Structure 1
């Protein structure tokens, strides 16, 4: 196995955390990256073993409109600063991956500037998609071109051009030789050309042992991207949605169903998260702030690689704004959180979970087995080489008792509370506190941990939820009377509650959703007839693309309701075009 199979990631958006100006004047470098050096100790202290940081390279604004792939953004410092930063991380045992924005460049990128200057005579005309000298843009370039997401600020690279492929591969080699990075997160991977990704994977395998490629993918069958030829992992937006809505709706069926759905895709080590630089903070999304605890217990124990977005370990808020993601990417002073690991219950929980995860191989490599499930209680096992680790979570305002099958161990200890229980007849009877979770480890086989205070203090919002909870007491009693799998109608009902506004704005650029995404209704697309066979994928509407994809799927075998939902949930035109083209 590789380092990333056991990793616990910390995610930093450096332009935000350092308080860099929103616009780059390309002036004298300001060494803001060096202010992040103290964060390395903090990252290690809370149990994280890897850092995803980016975007880092010279750009005009939010970082995803790249001007120079080989120069640290002037607002952050110099290449020497970045080399020293990665070295400092490695000295603390922390791996580092960068943001690779290879789908598009900014308008200040050298190749685009040359086209502006030399027009048809530029040697870089074919570096971009569909450059048309008979068109124009709002910038009055005197030509038009294909962009990302409808924004001409982001010029789409022609990933099928060998010169572009060689250039990007050279960038990867440069990043490894210059900065000694351990992997790359590919921005907008759901619209990257698959042959291009195969080339990137070949380069990754060459430059460094266990070099990790992880892609940003919003919707779809993740196994299309995660395999031996393309990427090692992708962002797990399916679980992200289930973790917050499953708690807000008191519906653990949604989470359990999502885990099964993901497991049916194969043995994929997905990048799990509850928030990032594109979506609202988990503390903001949760209607009952006390659910911070069970959400993170699940994040650290379900199959996949867990990740914490900077500041969320302190329980900070961040709300999605219509035209800006600035509130999701704030500047923070680490001195304001100097004692957080011992005094802030959110941070103490994250640190405890990091310690448990690092000392419990079953949470990285173990198989998954559902043990008990109701709307408000959920238990599962992670089994590895005869050792069974049991995880229990409770989203109810009252304590709950659970009777669960064990492995061969005669005694279990709660890693977060220190509670010990003896097995009787191959089962343990445990009490799970209200709005909390626990990780039960076989006593003697696993290290025991000093219990920490992990309950998140109630807030005004949590108090308000008490009223709603009390109104549902009768329903809760009925739900808790049986342990069963979710009824199809319950799953379908909750699937319709997807927070489209949040998930659909999980874009790589600091821009609002595309107009087409905002106007598309996944439910309406179910009635779309077969697309015009004379249209190219780029010419098709979202509905036609969805219909074409389903037709391709049907040609390969039966198409079930979950497969249909996956297609209809994807309302991104570029992503659907790439999906349709991936069928051979």
Structure 2
């Protein structure tokens, strides 16, 4: 067992978060990295125990065209700034891993500059792949070379060259001795040479106990990379895709099938995520924003190491654009999200899940067993040392009942809601709220996360404050109340005496609804929907009413369900939501 087996990661793209200029003119350093120091307390508050940050080192643009592996990017500050930042993370017991961009360099890297100057006589000629002095590029160097991804800005290193291997291994040694880094995320690991990765693994074992190597891999059998000779982990893009599409399509079979597919690869500790600096934000990706809750319950409970991308814990939007990833990598000020754990239901849920996972070893080490599966409900167990933790999720707009085989104990407690259910004939019978999830642990076996009693007036006040705060920001406001489970999670899941447990069913949906009932009814009367229109041609109001009409065909529409619809004001998202009914 190592620190990374139990880690909960926070992921920062520093050039974006700090608002650094897009182009590096290599002028005097500006200590923007220091503006991230206040984020460390936030990372800890939401239950994260490790930080993946990068790219960090000198480059000319987005960070992946490295100019100097041993110098912090001038736009972020100095090496001393980075050393102090890592030390500050360690002081808060947060491990740190850097982005290792070892597949290619930028054109300003010293070895490539030497080839430009000395051409055929450069001693670094074999540091790169297929340098050809009979060719040329758009840069008119008078020679061509193998690039990465079709971009001549990124010059592909010859990873089979022992000098290149030794140089990169020395870079890792430098990062450990200079900055005390705890691991590396290897960029584009799916195209790294395997002998090169074996050299990196040997270096990892040399430099630091439990030094972690995690690779960016998109497709394929992950066990090719994750084994005793190469990497400890890779990015779990297979589960990433299943988590959002399994909810958008109301298809939990896709998620369950993906988990089985991954289990067949072996006992791999994969790096799980729902978004990152290269893909759309999960809040944008979900057709039904209320699915933010079950998606993250699964992220924190399925086998693997969970990760949160900066800002997504606030429920911000981020749409991938054709020629730019800027919207995925925004500058944020942590002061704009003060008290988010108390005021933002998305953040509250993430904080609660972080604390639950930290105190529930079965979620890190337990075996996996599927218990119940339909298109809209999914339950599984994580078993460890005779203790069974049960996870239930529901992507339907109505509550669902489940009867599930339990562990050998008298009672279970829901860690998000504080609900207690008895074990009867070896089973528990539970009700999972609409668009929600719950983590059930044996009562008495683990810390009880009992929610603080919240008065209705307090809920209204919190929502008003959140609306005032988020209305001045460019990011879309997080949905204020997703489920009753998330309302209770707003208390940060602190240990409270049982007599203070809230009866979540007593919290009036009407009081959490953004408009009063009369106003909502009036809106329904005034919006006439022509169902012959294509969803793309409908207005936001028409789409909302059409969605509610489809819901009504499946059963009673509650105020909470109406709130979920009216909170969604994004046309494309509503279009996808309406189409999901067909």
Q: TM-score, normalised by structure 2?
A: 0.80
In structure 2, the CA distance between the partners of 1:400 and 1:88, relative to structure 1 (3 Å rule), is: same
Shift of 1:92: 0.3
Partner of 1:111: 111
* Unmatched segments (≥5 aa) in structure 1: 478-584
Q: Indicate whether 1:3 and 2:7 are aligned.
A: no
Structure 2 partner of 1:281: 281
Match of 1:248 in 2: 248
In structure 1, C-alpha distance between the alignment counterparts of 2:543 and 2:15, rounded to whole Å: 36
Partner residue in 2 for 1:329: 329
Matches within 5 A, 1:241-390: 241-390=241-390
- 1:354-397, Cα deviation, whole Å (9 max, x unpaired): 00000000000000000000000000000000000000000000
> Deviations for 1:173-225, whole angstroms, at most 9, x for unmatched residues?
00000000100000000000001000000000100000000000000000000
C-alpha distance in structure 2 between counterparts of 1:314 and 1:55, whole Å: 23
Alignment pair present for 1:406 and 2:385: no
Cα deviation, residue 461, structure 1: 8.0
Q: Distance in 2 between matches of 1:40 and 1:469?
A: 42
Q: 2:38 aligns to what SS in structure 1? A: helix
Structure with higher RCO (Cα < 8 A, 6+ apart):
1
Residue by residue over 1:70-110, the C-alpha shift from the partner in whole angstroms, topping out at 9 and shown as x without a partner, is: 00000000000000000000000000000000000000000
Name the counterpart of 1:213. 213
Q: CA RMSD in A?
A: 1.9
Please list the CA deviations of residues 431-463 of structure 1 after superposition, one character each: whole Å capped at 9, or x if unmatched.
100000000010000100132765489999899
Q: Which string of whole-angstrom CA distances, capped at 9 and with x for unpartnered residues, describes residues 121-151 of structure 1?
A: 0000100000000000000010000000000
Q: Would the aligned equivalents of 1:185 and 1:215 in 2 still touch at CA under 8 Å?
A: yes
Partner of 2:223: 223
Mapped contact 2:129–2:157 kept (Cα < 8 A): yes
2:145 equivalent in structure 1: 145
CA contact (8 A) 1:287 1:462 kept: no
Alignment length (residue pairs): 477
Does the C-alpha gap of structure 1 residues 463 and 91 become closer, same or farther in structure 2, counting only changes over 3 Å?
Answer: farther
Question: Secondary structure in 1 aligned to 2:132?
Answer: coil
The question of whether the paired residues in 1 share the 8 Å contact of 2:348 and 2:486 is answered with: no
Q: Secondary structure at the match of 1:349?
A: helix
- Is the alpha carbon distance of 1:467 and 1:391 closer, same or farther for their aligned partners in structure 2, counting shifts above 3 Å? farther
Determine the C-alpha separation between the residues in 2 that align with 1:80 and 1:335. 25
Aligned to 1:449: 449
Change (3 A) 1:436 1:465: farther
Map 1:560-575 to 2 at 5 A. none
Shift of 1:470: 6.0
CA contact (8 A) 1:59 1:73 kept: yes
TM-aligned CA deviation for residue 409 of structure 1: 1.3
The CA distance in 2 between the partners of 1:475 and 1:417, in whole Å, is 26
1:519 counterpart residue number: none
Larger Rg: 2
Rounded Cα–Cα distance in structure 1 between residues aligned with 2:102 and 2:451:
45
SS in 1 for 2:341: helix
Distance 2:547 2:419 in 1: 31
Query: What is the alpha-carbon distance in structure 1 between the residues aligned to residue 540 and residue 258 of structure 2?
Result: 27
Deviations 1:201-260 (A, max 9, x none): 000010000000000000000000000000000000000000000000000000000000
- Give the secondary-structure state (helix, strand or coil) at the position aligned to 2:30: coil
Q: CA deviation at 1:476?
A: 10
1:168 aligns with 2:156: no
Q: Indicate conservation of the 8 Å contact 1:219/1:237, yes or no.
A: yes
The change in CA–CA distance for 1:219 and 1:462 in structure 2 (over 3 A counts) is farther
Q: Distance in 2 between matches of 1:70 and 1:374?
A: 52
Q: Tell whether the 8 Å contact from 2:51 to 2:95 is kept in structure 1 after alignment.
A: yes
Q: Classify the secondary structure of the residue corresponding to 2:389.
A: strand
8 Å contact from structure 2 (residues 394, 433) kept in 1: yes
Is contact 1:205-1:211 (8 Å) kept? yes
The 8 Å contact of residues 289 and 458 in structure 1, kept in 2 or not, is answered as: no
How far did 1:268 drift?
0.2
**Counterpart in the other structure of 1:70:** 70
Is the contact between residue 30 and residue 75 of structure 2 (CA under 8 Å) also seen in structure 1? yes
Runs (5+) with no aligned partner, structure 2 = 453-483, 488-511, 515-538, 557-582
Q: Is the 8 A contact 1:104 1:148 kept in 2?
A: yes
Give me the whole-angstrom Cα distance separating, in 2, the residues matched to 1:82 and 1:381. 41
**SS of match in other structure, 1:185:** strand
Aligned-partner SS, 2:381: strand
Instruction: Tell me how far 1:471 sits from its aligned partner.
Output: 4.0
Whether the 8 Å CA contact 1:346–1:454 is kept in 2: the answer is no
